[in-house]
Amino acid sequence: MPKPPLFFFFFFFFLLFNLPPPASAVFTPTETLLRFKSSLTNTLALSNWNSSAPLCSGDRRFWTGLICKNGQLYGIRLENMSLGGTVDTAALAGLPTLRTLSLMNNGFEGPMPDVKRIGALRALYLSNNNFSGSISGDAFEGMGNLKRLYLSGNGFSGEIPGSLVELKAVVELGLEDNLFEGRIPDFDERVWKYLNFSGNRLDGPIPYGLRKNSNFTSYLGNNGLCGEPLGPCKSSTKKWSIIIGVLSGAAALTLFLLLLYCFLRPSKSSAAVHDDTKAKTKLFLSPKILFKRPERAHRYSSTDSDENSNLSGPAGSALCFVRNDRVRFDFQELLGASAEVLGSGSFGKSYKAMLSNGSSVVVKRFRQMNAAGKEEFYGHMRRLGRLSHPNLLPLVAFYYGKDDKLLVSDFVPNGSLASHLHGRKSEGNARLNWGKRLKIIKGVARGLSYLHKELPNLSLPHGNLKSSNVLLDHNFSPILSDYALFPLLQKSHAHTHMAAFKSPEFSPSTTDRTSKSTDVWSLGILILETLTGKFPTNYLRQGKGADSDLAAWVDAVVREEWTAEVFDGDLVVSGGGGNEEEGCCDWDCNEDMLKLLKIGMCCCEREVGKRWGLKQAVEKIEELDLNEEGEEYYSSYGSDYNGSFVSNSSNFKGRRTRRMITNEDESSFLS
Q: What is the pLDDT of residues 303-334, one digit of tens each?
A: 333 333 333 333 334 789 998 888 888 877 87
268-301 pLDDT, tens per residue? Answer: 333 333 333 333 322 222 222 222 223 333 332 2
Question: Is the separation of the CB atoms in 409 and 394 below 8 Å?
Answer: yes
**What's the confidence (pLDDT) of residue 658?**
32
User: What CA–CA distance (Å, rounded) separates 46 from 32?
Assistant: 14
> Domains in the chain: how many in total?
3
645-671 pLDDT, tens per residue? Answer: 333 323 333 333 333 333 333 222 222
Task: Give me the CATH number covering residue 38.
Answer: 3.80.10.10
| 97 in the same domain as 38 | yes
Mean pLDDT of the 192-196 span: 89
Mean pLDDT of the 350-355 span: 87
- Among candidate residues 203, 226, 249, the one where a domain is terminated: 226
Q: How far is CA 401 from the centre of its chain?
A: 19
Mean pLDDT of the 396-410 span: 89
**What's the confidence (pLDDT) of residue 565?**
73
14-42 pLDDT, tens per residue? Answer: 555 555 444 444 679 999 999 999 999 98
Question: Could you tell me if residue 519 is inside a domain?
Answer: yes
434-481 pLDDT, tens per residue? Answer: 889 999 999 999 999 999 999 999 999 999 999 999 999 999 999 999
For residue 419, pLDDT beyond 60:
yes
| 472 in the same domain as 379 | no
Q: How far is CA 354 from the centre of its chain?
A: 20
| 428 in the same domain as 388 | no
For residue 84, pLDDT beyond 80:
yes
- Among candidate residues 375, 410, 445, the one where a domain is terminated: 410
Q: Which residue has the higher pLDDT, 199 or 519?
A: 519
- Among candidate residues 226, 253, 284, the one where a domain is terminated: 226
Parallel, antiparallel, or unpaired for β 405-410 and 478-480?
Answer: unpaired
Confidence of residue 100 (pLDDT cuts 50, 70, 90): very high
Specify burial of residue 176 (Cβ count, 10 A radius: 0-12, 13-18, 19+): buried
For residue 636, pLDDT beyond 90:
no
Q: What is the pTM of this model?
A: 0.58
Residues with Cβ within 8 Å of residue 188, at least 6 apart in sequence: 165, 168, 209
For residue 134, pLDDT beyond 90:
yes
Q: What are phi and psi of 149, to 5 degrees?
A: -140, 120
| 200 in the same domain as 326 | no
State the residue range of the domain holding 57. Answer: 27-226
Task: Give me the CATH number covering residue 467.
Answer: 1.10.510.10
